[in-house]
């Protein structure tokens, strides 16, 4: 299984040994979108959701999720995160755009933390609005940028 770092020579899953890597500043940004009915977005923006401040609760959930990524993804290293930012914004008249950025100084990247933050933020938007719109969809979860480490920078257009 050449090229896959989470497997040993026998094909067993292993946690990658990062002890020889240099500590560098690392950052990753992930995005997702929640598609919904225009009336659902209007409810969120108007602050009338019965469960409360959708963007505020979802932002907090995303931050908490980033900090717990190693508990959820079996081969992730627990990392001391320096910063987690979650941005939520109306995207057209039928969606919420989510951007999660995670920073650390360490021996491994924070792409999984950014993806986890974006996905849990999106799931929280869904949870808080599902009573009025069961047809919502979480779409487009992806890493859009990363910097730091041996592999260098990455930007997705």
Catalytic annotation, residues: 127
The Cα 115–Cα 145 span in angstroms is 11
Q: Are residues 51 and 125 in contact, defined by beta-carbon separation less than 8 angstroms?
A: no
* Cβ-Cβ contacts under 8 Å for 61 (sequence gap 6 or more): 120, 121, 123, 124
Q: Which helix (H) or strand (E) holds 144?
A: strand 137-147
């Amino acid at each position: 299984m050449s090229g896959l770092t989470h497997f040993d020579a026998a094909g067993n899953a292993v946690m990658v040994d990062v002890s020889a890597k240099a500590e560098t500043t690392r950052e990753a940004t992930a995005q997702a979108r929640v598609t919904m009915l225009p009336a659902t977005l209007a409810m969120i923006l108007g602050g009338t959701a019965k469960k409360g401040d959708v963007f505020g609760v979802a932002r907090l959930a995303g931050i908490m999720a980033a900090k717990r990524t190693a508990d959820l993804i079996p081969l992730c290293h627990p990392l001391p995160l320096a910063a987690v930012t979650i941005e939520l914004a109306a995207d057209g008249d039928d969606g919420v755009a989510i951007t999660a950025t995670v920073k650390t100084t360490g021996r491994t990247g924070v792409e999984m933390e950014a993806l986890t933050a974006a996905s849990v933020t999106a799931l929280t938007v869904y949870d808080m609005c599902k009573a009025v719109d069961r047809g919502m969809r979480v779409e487009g979860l992806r890493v859009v940028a990363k910097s730091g480490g041996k592999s260098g920078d990455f930007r997705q257009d």
